[in-house]
């Protein structure tokens, strides 16, 4: 659920309100051509710090009053924090400025400035170089600029130097306006800077606006700020004749900003805070994300059931409807692991309550006992807005603990679903404790298995300073709940509510306090909402995670809408109020791939769209994509017709097919979850992660990888029964039909058949994919026998393949090897001179042995031969197993008619997963 509902009604009310605000607002500067606002700064002194850093003082060259007065003296600090991470921090030398709190995002604090700093006597160039670092820092003193280069090839990764021919000006640093730019080469491909729907695809598109400011504006969601703020980008370059080089750049700043990308330059325009840059050396896309998440926090471990299918709807009016949904999924033979409630279960939309009539507690507890017994889970929504209601215990305890954000000394009044609300201040330690206690109380009332935190940008149905109207009920109960019914007046008298520079908020230069918390409101210790706005959802996520961690010792599952740098350490994300359109189906792939780069790998979009009603064909195609999202959930709007996957028989068939494959892939997805947790590796990835030298895939946004080698090529257009798919160089095998082979010598496009119930999924060469037999619930599917699919380059006389598998007690808080409740297996295979070998190396095998897991089947693909095979030996002993040899067919490639390739399948192996094994045989020629 969110504040956005039927598109026509909402957009009209939204635009009417926005027009009123804009009539009072100063016009924004929207051009990316920056007037040179100042002459920049000169470096006047510098020193080496004992901790290996460089510290210096910058003095403004010439003051002006455009967007406010320049800060006269800045302090800059540079340090190689690791061999692959460089930090450049610039702030006011005399006064403390707002930064992302160090307790929310733990990191090293810059050392204090010393008094005996030496003075510079002339304009000079100096270099900071760590002996083992790939990154080299250099600066020019007058006007001050800095550059970051790659040591190995001399590439300039960031360069803020400006001259008369540059499209941007020098460094600008005012209280409410910061500006800095970098030059970029023409061959740089950029990714990131979200959350943004990016209609042109995952690769950043020159001249599209990128505004970062957490906002609930999904009805107008093209090229505008959305629910999250992630001021980080990845730069991938592939020089002719050279190796690809990727690096990452994070500007750790939570204030609103516009980022203008012109193709050969990138300019930040920020309305506060500090310049705190972190550079990540890469050089591969995967290593960039590894280095980035090592800094911001590794992604949270998810329970196994979270990778099952989820069903939700805003509008399950009573418990019997929820019970009916679960039963109908079972009747339709469509897998389902988690059933959700939007706010329908609440009493008057109030957090941590139950509707006594529609969701009576005894009946709900009975229902939960039944689904828990078969392994299903239950999750409900909570919003940050706490109803202003003197008879409401949550409100009473919140007031007693003084936990709410203030405005002019009183709790800031807003409106969301329950009517008038106050917003908890999660920067206040007392609020975190109170919030945890409310979650504990609710969990005792209803033993939910996770929490869904929504509307936490924060979303507000009103704007400005509001009071509760006298003499009428608000909301009335007869009109739409999202229409503001408080008495409100605009706040434009403060520089926080009306800053000198207007970011492109909401895509329409809306005032930054529009339909959210007033930016002059105050948090704990005098922190302004102006500064902390975009970390509101992040702070709520951390508080929620802390609370759930203390319940029953289980691994928390949290789904959050608003995110910031580091949110992936605590929660999963869905992409908010998407629309049931073909365009939104396509956008979902780009957004999912971006969040993998942002360090939030557990991500997905509302399957079939949140609103309006999707067509039957669209819902067919959407489940074929959504079945392969890391987070796979169907969710619909209150005002849309029902769209559970069983509502159309054609969709049910597509769901059984696509989700049937997902449930076989659950061990692979869970292993990717482990890899994400230990290295940040995204679960869903752009193709360039595995093929960084193949430039043709740099802008590809219609296909994606799960892990390094499983490629999804869905239909994304109405009326299509074929899909034109790009295949990077190598051999690819259809996962649904292992006999079908595509050989792409240098990379090519292939037209694939894709009738209504078919989604194309291909496995790359040199892979070993662990699978199970599937099932209706992940708990049951997890206990079925394993199979391995081993892929070699088609017809190769020599080759190697590898894969891995992680297994653990998935509800333990920690996800790690060596705790006595986990097992890790490396799988290997080789073929050489006709001898095939498949083997495993097991670490901590006891857990898998105790569970009784076995490998029943191994299929080896792409072998050169006539199908005859010699005696199979396992651990050096001959064995009799059922063997099938099947000829494989080229859909594309080769064409020479000379290569006979076969798949060798062995069934009934009964090999314990928890013990290392080695299997060998000889292929007949």
Residue 824 β-bridge partners: 806, 843
Tokens of 411: 């709790």
Whole-angstrom distance, CA of residue 695 vs CA of residue 244: 9
Helices (H), 297-411: 319-331, 361-374, 393-400
Tokens of 741: 């082979």
Which residue from 834, 872, 806, 686 is spatially nearest to 302, judged by alpha carbons? 806
Question: Domain with 859 in it: what CATH number?
Answer: 2.60.40.1180
Whole-angstrom distance, CA of residue 433 vs CA of residue 712: 44
Whether the CB-CB separation of 826 and 916 falls below 8 Å is answered with no
Residue 649 β-bridge partners: none
Tokens of 523: 């948090």
Helix (H) or strand (E) holding 591: helix 582-597
- Assign 840 to helix, strand or coil: strand
The DSSP secondary structure of 713-767, one letter per residue, reads: E---STT-SEEEEEE-SEEEEESS-TTEEEEESS-EEEEEE--TT--EEEEETTB
Query: Which residue numbers in the chain have pLDDT < 70?
Result: 1-35, 114-131, 163-168, 218-222, 240-241, 476-480, 508-509, 895-898, 925
Question: Side-chain half-sphere of 690: how many Cα atoms within 13 Å?
Answer: 25
Whether the CB-CB separation of 905 and 861 falls below 8 Å is answered with no
Strand order in the sheet with 377-382: 603-604, 572-574, 558-560, 450-453, 377-382, 338-341, 309-311, 632-634, 606-607
Largest CA distance in the chain: 91
Q: Do the domain assignments include residue 395?
A: no
Whole-angstrom distance, CA of residue 662 vs CA of residue 631: 11
Whether the CB-CB separation of 843 and 804 falls below 8 Å is answered with no
Whether the CB-CB separation of 423 and 412 falls below 8 Å is answered with yes
Catalytic residue from among 344, 454, 498, 808: 454
Q: What is the pLDDT of residue 120?
A: 52
Whole-angstrom distance, CA of residue 507 vs CA of residue 114: 44
Cis amide leading into 368 (omega within 30): no
Which residue from 730, 716, 752 is spatially nearest to 622, judged by alpha carbons? 716
Active site residue 454: yes
Residue 237 β-bridge partners: 245
Q: Do the domain assignments include residue 597?
A: no
Which residue from 780, 781, 764, 763 is spatially nearest to 772, judged by alpha carbons? 781
Whole-angstrom distance, CA of residue 269 vs CA of residue 231: 12
Q: Buried b / exposed e across 628-665, counting CB within 10 Å, b at 16+? A: bbbbbbbbbbbebeebbbbebeebbbbbbbbbbbbbbb
**In 3-state terms, the chain is what percent helix, strand and coil (to 5)?**
20, 30, 45
> In the listed set 243, 278, 296, which residue is the last one of a domain according to the structure?
296
Residue 310 β-bridge partners: 338, 633
Q: How many domains does the structure of the chain reveal? A: 2
Whole-angstrom distance, CA of residue 856 vs CA of residue 548: 38
Whether the CB-CB separation of 551 and 440 falls below 8 Å is answered with yes
Tokens of 336: 């389902």
The C-alpha angle 800, 802, 804, rounded to 5 degrees, equals 170
- Tell me whether residue 48 is exposed, middle or buried, using C-beta atoms within 10 angstroms of its C-beta: 0 to 12, 13 to 18, 19 or more: exposed
Q: Do the domain assignments include residue 606?
A: no
Residues in the chain: 925
Q: What is the 3-state secondary structure (H, E, C) of 780-837?
A: HHCCCCEEEEEECCCCCCEEEEEEEEEEECCCCCCCCCCCCCEEEEEEEEEEECCEEE
Contacts with 422 (C-beta within 8 Å, 6 or more apart), sequence order: 385, 386, 388, 395, 398, 404, 405, 411, 412, 413, 414
pLDDT in tens, 740-793: 999 999 999 999 999 999 999 999 999 999 999 999 999 999 999 999 999 999
- Tell me whether residue 548 is exposed, middle or buried, using C-beta atoms within 10 angstroms of its C-beta: 0 to 12, 13 to 18, 19 or more: buried
Active site residue 175: no
Which residue from 114, 116, 146 is spatially nearest to 43, judged by alpha carbons? 146
Q: What is the pLDDT of residue 126?
A: 55
pLDDT in tens, 543-590: 999 999 988 789 999 999 999 999 999 999 999 999 999 999 999 999
Query: At residue 18, what are phi and psi to the nearest 5 degrees?
Result: -65, -35
Catalytic residue from among 70, 577, 634, 644: 577
Helix (H) or strand (E) holding 290: helix 285-296
Q: Do the domain assignments include residue 619?
A: no
Whole-angstrom distance, CA of residue 564 vs CA of residue 576: 15
Whole-angstrom distance, CA of residue 26 vs CA of residue 814: 51
Catalytic residue from among 457, 497, 624, 634: 457
CA dihedral 885, 887, 888, 894 (to 10 degrees): 130
Whole-angstrom distance, CA of residue 619 vs CA of residue 607: 8
The parent domain of residue 102 ranges over 41-296
Q: Do the domain assignments include residue 159?
A: yes
Which residue from 168, 178, 169 is spatially nearest to 74, judged by alpha carbons? 178
Question: Domain with 253 in it: what CATH number?
Answer: 2.60.40.1760
> 338-341 and 377-382: which strand pairing?
parallel
90: left (phi over 0), alpha (psi -120 to 50) or beta: beta
Cα–Cα distances (Å) from 757 to 254, 710, 718, 723, in that order, read: 44, 19, 14, 13
Q: What is the pLDDT of residue 38?
A: 81
Q: What is the pLDDT of residue 26?
A: 38
Whole-angstrom distance, CA of residue 141 vs CA of residue 139: 6
> In the listed set 244, 270, 296, which residue is the last one of a domain according to the structure?
296
Q: Which residue has the tokens 């409106």?
A: 415
Q: Do the domain assignments include residue 50?
A: yes
Query: At residue 322, what are phi and psi to the nearest 5 degrees?
Result: -60, -45
Residue 830 β-bridge partners: 800, 837
> In the listed set 296, 326, 361, which residue is the last one of a domain according to the structure?
296
Active site residue 577: yes
């Amino acid at each position: 659920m969110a504040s956005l509902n039927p598109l026509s009604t909402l957009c009209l009310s939204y635009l009417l309100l926005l027009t009123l605000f804009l009539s009072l607002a100063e016009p924004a500067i929207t051009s990316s051509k920056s007037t040179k606002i100042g002459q920049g700064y000169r470096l006047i002194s510098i020193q080496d710090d004992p901790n290996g850093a460089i510290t210096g003082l910058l003095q403004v060259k010439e003051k002006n009053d455009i967007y406010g007065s320049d800060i006269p003296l800045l302090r800059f600090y540079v340090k190689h924090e690791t061999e692959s991470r460089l930090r450049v921090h610039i702030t006011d030398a005399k006064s403390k400025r707002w930064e992302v709190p160090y307790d929310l995002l733990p990191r090293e604090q810059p050392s204090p400035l010393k008094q005996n700093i030496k003075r510079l006597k002339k304009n000079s160039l100096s270099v900071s170089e760590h002996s083992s670092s790939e990154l080299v820092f250099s600066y020019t003193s007058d006007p001050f600029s800095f550059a970051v280069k790659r040591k190995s090839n001399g590439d300039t990764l960031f360069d803020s130097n400006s001259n008369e021919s540059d499209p941007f000006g020098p460094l600008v640093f005012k209280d409410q306006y910061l500006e800095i730019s970098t030059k970029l080469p023409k061959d740089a491909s950029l990714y990131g800077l979200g959350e943004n729907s990016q209609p042109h695809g995952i690769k950043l598109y020159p001249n599209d606006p990128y505004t970062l400011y957490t906002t609930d504006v999904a009805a107008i969601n093209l090229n505008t700020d959305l629910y999250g703020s992630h001021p980080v980008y990845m730069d991938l370059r592939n020089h002719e004749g050279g190796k690809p080089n990727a690096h990452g750049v994070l500007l750790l700043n939570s204030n609103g900003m516009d980022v203008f990308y012109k193709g050969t330059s990138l300019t930040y325009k920020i309305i506060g805070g500090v310049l705190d840059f972190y550079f990540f050396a890469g050089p591969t896309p995967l290593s960039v994300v590894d280095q980035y998440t090592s800094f911001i926090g590794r992604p949270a471990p998810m329970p196994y059931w979270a990778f099952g299918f989820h069903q939700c709807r805003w509008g399950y009016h009573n418990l019997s409807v929820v019970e009916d949904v679960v039963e109908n999924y079972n009747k339709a033979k469509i897998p389902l692991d988690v059933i959700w409630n939007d706010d329908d279960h609440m009493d008057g939309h109030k957090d941590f309550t139950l509707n006594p009539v529609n969701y009576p507690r005894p009946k709900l507890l009975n229902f939960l006992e039944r689904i828990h017994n078969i392994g299903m889970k239950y999750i409900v929504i909570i919003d940050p807005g706490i109803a202003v209601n003197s008879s409401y215990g949550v409100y009473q305890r919140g007031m007693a603990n003084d936990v709410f954000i203030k405005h002019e000394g009183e709790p800031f009044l807003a409106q969301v679903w329950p009517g008038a609300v106050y917003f908890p201040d999660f920067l206040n330690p007392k609020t975190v404790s109170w919030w945890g206690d409310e979650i504990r109380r609710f969990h005792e009332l209803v033993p939910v298995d996770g929490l869904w935190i929504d509307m936490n940008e924060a979303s507000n149905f009103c704007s400005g300073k509001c009071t509760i109207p006298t003499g009428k009920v608000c909301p009335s109960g007869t009109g739409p709940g999202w229409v503001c019914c408080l008495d409100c007046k605009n706040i434009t008298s403060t520089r926080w509510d009306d800053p000198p520079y207007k970011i492109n908020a909401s895509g329409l230069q809306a005032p930054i306090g529009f339909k959210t918390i007033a930016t002059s409101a105050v948090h704990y210790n005098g922190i302004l909402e102006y500064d902390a706005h975009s970390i509101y959802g992040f702070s709520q996520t951390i508080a929620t995670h802390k609370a759930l961690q203390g319940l029953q010792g289980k691994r928390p599952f949290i789904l959050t809408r608003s995110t910031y740098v580091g949110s992936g350490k605590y929660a999963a994300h869905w992409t908010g109020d998407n629309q049931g359109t073909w365009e939104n189906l396509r956008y979902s792939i780009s957004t999912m791939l971006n969040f993998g780069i942002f360090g939030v790998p557990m991500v997905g979009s509302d399957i079939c769209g949140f609103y309006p009603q999707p067509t039957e064909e669209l819902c067919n195609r959407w489940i074929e994509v959504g079945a392969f999202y890391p987070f796979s959930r169907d969710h619909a709007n209150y005002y849309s017709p029902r769209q559970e996957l069983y509502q159309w028989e054609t969709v049910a068939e597509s769901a059984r097919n696509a989700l049937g494959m997902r449930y076989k892939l659950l061990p692979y997805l869970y292993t990717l979850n482990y890899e994400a947790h230990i290295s940040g590796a995204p679960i869903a990835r752009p193709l360039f992660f595995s093929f960084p030298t193949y430039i043709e895939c740099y802008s590809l946004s219609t296909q994606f990888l799960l892990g390094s080698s499983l490629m999804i090529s869905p239909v994304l257009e109405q009326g299509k029964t074929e899909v034109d798919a790009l295949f990077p160089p190598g051999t690819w095998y259809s996962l649904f039909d292992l006999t079908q082979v595509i050989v792409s010598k240098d990379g090519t496009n292939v037209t694939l058949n894709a009738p209504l119930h078919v989604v194309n999924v291909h496995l790359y060469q040199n892979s070993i994919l662990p699978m199970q037999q599937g099932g209706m619930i992940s708990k049951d599917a997890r206990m079925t026998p394993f199979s391995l699919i081993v892929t070699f380059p088609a017809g190769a006389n020599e080759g190697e393949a590898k894969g891995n598998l992680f297994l653990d007690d998935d509800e333990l808080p920690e996800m790690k090897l060596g705790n006595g409740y986990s097992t890790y297996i490396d799988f290997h295979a080789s073929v050489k001179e006709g001898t095939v070998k498949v083997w495993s190396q097991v670490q901590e095998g006891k857990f898998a042995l105790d569970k009784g897991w076995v490998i029943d089947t191994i299929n080896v693909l792409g072998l050169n031969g006539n199908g005859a095979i010699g005696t199979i030996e396992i651990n050096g002993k001959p064995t009799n197993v059922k063997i099938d040899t099947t000829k494989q067919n080229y859909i594309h490639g080769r064409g020479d008619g000379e290569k006979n390739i076969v798949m060798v399948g062995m069934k009934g192996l009964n090999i314990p997963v928890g013990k290392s094994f080695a299997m060998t045989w000889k292929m007949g020629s």
